[in-house]
Amino acid sequence: MKNSNAPISGGQINGAKIIRQMYPATCSQCGKACEVPFIPSPDKPTYCKECFEKRKLATKAQIAAKQYAGFDRLTASNNPKQGNGAGDIKQQLSTINSKLDRLIQMLGTKESAPVKTDETAASVKKIAKKVLAKKKAVSKKK
């Protein structure tokens, strides 16, 4: 253990070195003697550099796992709300198109030309390919 009375360099701000006072402590996790840049409090745990880094990485991993789990629930293929892929998307787009056509007829707008079936099918195929590519990318990350 270093001399706790000896200041050590703690970095630089605008070229000026910062000197931090280090205080002796005992790691709450591994029990090893260490030094920390604050006065240890008996009611709070204190960690050595190695244990602190492990805890920080574990915390980041937990946060990432929670975020991934939330994303996974939204994209899960076994989710009944999600549907079965390209066939379901085609059906949804077809339903949306028919509803839009009815709305246009109800509004009495004669300016819009009907969309050709071949163009609609091609756009549906493009969208389905993009969705399937995204699902494959997500499953590869797992």
Distance of CA 50 to the CA centre of its chain: 26
Neighbours of 30 (CB within 10 A): 12
Tens-digit pLDDT string for the chain (142 aa): 444 454 445 556 666 777 789 999 999 999 999 999 999 998 999 999 999 999 888 888 888 887 776 665 555 554 555 555 667 888 888 889 888 888 888 887 555 555 556 667 777 788 888 888 887 777 776 6
Q: pTM (2 decimals)? A: 0.38
Q: Which residue, chain included where needed, has tokens 């994303």?
A: 71
Note whether 5 and 23 are within 8 A (CB).
no
Neighbours of 12 (CB within 10 A): 9
